[in-house]
């Protein structure tokens, strides 16, 4: 009887331990958030209540806190849940330091030197994030971080503090930084996918910078925007590919300085075997849609493929500087991307938090859509008409707090500081 009682007690304790580990934790301030990150276990969901989470230096997930493929750790919130280091010159909004199988979903990273940085972190999914107002890059996959996916994010206002260092998404490290991050070895951030993301009008450097030493990534279904390129440190294209075996397909882009996509050779043996297919490029410049660097002081490029099914408009030079090849691949939106798209906010609103004004971007052309803004109690405090799908609304009359913007049966939350 004693043995049976002990067995039942063990089962009871195990059952309740599993329930504790699988619980959903809701946090509402910076201390609670950092504590939840420090103690997270596989299967947990950390929910960010709407509000501002500010911490000097930003929020760091300690090393070796992992989910599993079947039980990831989830950190999620709405766009009005805002993580910040509150400094454009120091700190990350959020940093992973050796963490696997995390799902980061839906919240905003704002006003930080770097937005989101992954170091030695693998098999993570980053989706539906708003990354806005960073001193340097928006999202950086660094220090061997591999097998990660960045999906359906909106990134804008990068490179505010350090001119020439404002990439929206950055894969790997420059060869000059290998001694710092990987002890002089190539920073092999491999097999990362960048899917269905969009970029605002104020991205100072490349929308995506793919560094030497990285390989075998997929860049697809993104909407590139070069309106904010500042042409410092060669920031004159949507994508700069210096790695190997990347597939860049089914993307669209508009406005650039020199070319739409570029490859370069920074290290001998890198900048090769990349494929460009089914991209629609409105470059609005005299450059190429896709410029392939065939040789440099570091060596000769080989086996980069530009498919003839790419299209380019608004340029004098045409699609590419190399001979195109016939490719049979076609664009189709995979089921997982469709599912992501259905959960994505179709309204883009920034900056968030705001001060004197907010910018509104709708995915379709509109003419005189009505809108209203309500406070946290549901009271209508501001209304008007949108002149077009990219409009600015003055918000200086609003008191600090949480608000909801509503237009055409769609809504998004924001914070007025």
Q: Which residue has the tokens 């960048």?
A: 194
The answer to whether residues 328 and 355 belong to one domain is no
Q: For residue 254, is pLDDT > 90?
A: yes
308 has a pLDDT exceeding 70: yes
Partnered with residue 134 across adjacent β-strands are: 112
**Same domain membership, residue 192 and residue 253:** yes
Q: Phi and psi dihedrals of 20, rounded to 5?
A: -65, -45
Q: What is the pLDDT of residue 331?
A: 83
Residue 297 and residue 399 in one domain: no
pLDDT in tens, 311-355: 999 998 999 999 999 998 788 766 655 544 444 456 778 788 888
Give the C-alpha separation, 175 to 190, whole Å: 15
> Of the given ranges (260-264, 387-391, 403-407), which has the lowest mean pLDDT?
387-391
- Encode burial over 32-70: b for 16+ CB neighbours within 10 A, e otherwise: bbbebbeebebbbbbbbebbbbbbeebbbbeeebbbeee
- Token pair of 102 as six digits: 């995390």
Same domain, 283 and 264: yes
Predicted structure pTM score: 0.86
Domain limits for position 388: 346-416
Report the alpha-carbon distance of residue 221 to residue 215 in Å, rounded.
Answer: 19
- Which CATH number belongs to the domain containing residue 370 in this structure? 2.60.40.10
Both 156 and 187 in a single domain? yes
User: Mind listing the pLDDT tens digit for each residue in 86-126?
Assistant: 999 999 999 999 999 999 999 999 999 999 999 999 999 99
Give the rounded percent of residues in the chain with a pLDDT score beyond 90: 74
> How much of the chain exceeds pLDDT 70, in percent?
90
pLDDT digits (tens, 9 = 90+) for 214-225: 999 999 999 999
392 and 296 share one domain: no
Strands 149-151 and 193-195: parallel
Looking at residue 227, its pLDDT comes to: 94
Residues 148 and 212 in one domain: yes
Q: Is the pLDDT higher at 344 or at 358?
A: 358
Q: Among 189-203, 240-254, 365-379, which stretch is predicted with the lowest mean pLDDT?
A: 365-379
pLDDT at 21: 54
| Residue 74's pLDDT band (cuts 50, 70, 90) | very high
The dihedral formed by the CA atoms of 197, 200, 206 and 209, expressed in degrees to the nearest 10: -30
Q: Is 232 exposed, middle or buried (0-12, 13-18, 19+ CB in 10 A)?
A: middle
Residues 76 and 121 in one domain: yes
Alpha helices by DSSP H, 233-386: 335-343
Q: Which of 346, 385, 351, 350 is nearest to 362 (CA)?
A: 346
CATH code for the domain of 11? 2.160.20.10
Does residue 327 sit in the same domain as residue 351? no
Residue 11 in this model has a pLDDT that exceeds 50: no
Please tell me the predicted confidence (pLDDT) of residue 171. 98
Same domain flag for 211 and 307: yes
- What's the alpha-carbon Rg for the chain, to the nearest Å? 23
Query: Which residue carries 């591999």 as its tokens?
Result: 146
147 pLDDT above the threshold of 50 = yes
One domain, residues 42 and 115: yes
List the structure tokens of 399. 């008191």
Q: What is the count of structural domains for the chain?
A: 2
Distance CA 350, CA 223 (A): 17
100: tokens are 């696997």
Exposed/middle/buried for residue 326 (C-beta within 10 Å: 0-12, 13-18, 19+): exposed
Q: What is the mean pLDDT of the chain?
A: 90
pLDDT at residue 6 tops 60: no
| CB-based burial, 264-293: b 16+ in 10 Å, e otherwise | bbbbeebbbbbbbbbbbbbbbbebbbbbbb
Question: What confidence category does residue 187 fall into, taking pLDDT thresholds of 50, 70 and 90?
Answer: very high
Domain boundary among 322, 342, 362: 342
- Residue in 179, 240, 192, 232 with CA at minimum distance from that of residue 212: 240
- How many whole angstroms from its chain centre is CA 224? 12
Q: Is it the case that residue 235 has pLDDT exceeding 50? A: yes
Q: Please report the pLDDT score of residue 338 as a whole number.
A: 52
Q: Is the CB of residue 213 less than 8 Å from the CB of residue 172?
A: yes
């Amino acid at each position: 009887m004693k043995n049976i009682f002990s067995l039942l007690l063990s089962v009871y304790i195990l059952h309740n331990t599993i329930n504790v580990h699988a619980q959903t934790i809701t946090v509402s301030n910076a201390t609670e958030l950092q504590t939840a990150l420090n103690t997270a276990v596989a299967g947990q969901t950390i929910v960010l209540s709407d509000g501002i989470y500010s911490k000097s230096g930003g929020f760091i997930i300690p090393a070796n806190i992992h989910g599993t493929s079947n039980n990831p750790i989830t950190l999620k919130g709405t766009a009005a849940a805002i993580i910040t280091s509150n400094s454009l010159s120091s700190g990350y909004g959020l940093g992973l330091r050796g963490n696997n199988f995390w799902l980061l979903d839906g919240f905003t990273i704002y006003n930080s030197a770097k937005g989101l940085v992954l170091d030695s972190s693998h098999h993570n999914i980053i989706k539906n994030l708003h990354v806005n107002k960073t001193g340097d890059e928006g999202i950086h996959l660094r220090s061997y971080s591999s097998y990660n996916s960045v999906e359906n994010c909106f990134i804008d206002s990068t490179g505010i503090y350090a001119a020439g260092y404002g990439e929206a998404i950055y894969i790997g490290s420059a060869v000059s930084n290998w001694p710092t991050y990987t002890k002089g070895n190539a920073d092999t951030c491999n097999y990362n996918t960048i899917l269905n993301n969009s970029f605002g009008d104020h991205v100072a450097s490349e929308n995506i910078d793919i560094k030497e030493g990285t390989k075998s990534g997929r860049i697809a279904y993104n909407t590139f925007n070069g309106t904010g390129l500042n042409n410092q440190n060669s920031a004159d294209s949507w994508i700069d590919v210096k790695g190997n075996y990347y597939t860049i397909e089914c993307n669209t882009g508009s406005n650039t300085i020199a070319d739409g996509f570029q490859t370069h050779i920074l290290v001998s043996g890198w900048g090769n075997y990349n494929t460009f297919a089914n991209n629609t490029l409105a470059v609005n410049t005299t450059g190429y849609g896709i410029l392939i660097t065939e040789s440099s002081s570091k060596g000769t490029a080989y086996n980069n493929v530009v498919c003839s099914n790419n299209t380019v408009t608004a340029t004098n030079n045409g699609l590419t500087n190399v001979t195109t090849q016939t490719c049979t691949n076609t664009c189709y939106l995979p089921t997982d991307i469709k599912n992501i798209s259905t959960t994505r906010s179709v309204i883009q609103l920034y900056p968030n938090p705001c001060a004197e004004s907010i910018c509104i971007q709708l995915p379709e052309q509109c003419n005189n859509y009505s809108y209203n803004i309500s406070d946290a109690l549901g009271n209508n405090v501001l209304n008007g008409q949108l002149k077009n799908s990219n409009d600015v609304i003055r918000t200086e009359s609003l008191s600090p707090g949480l608000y909801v913007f509503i237009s055409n049966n769609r809504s998004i939350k924001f914070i007025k500081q």
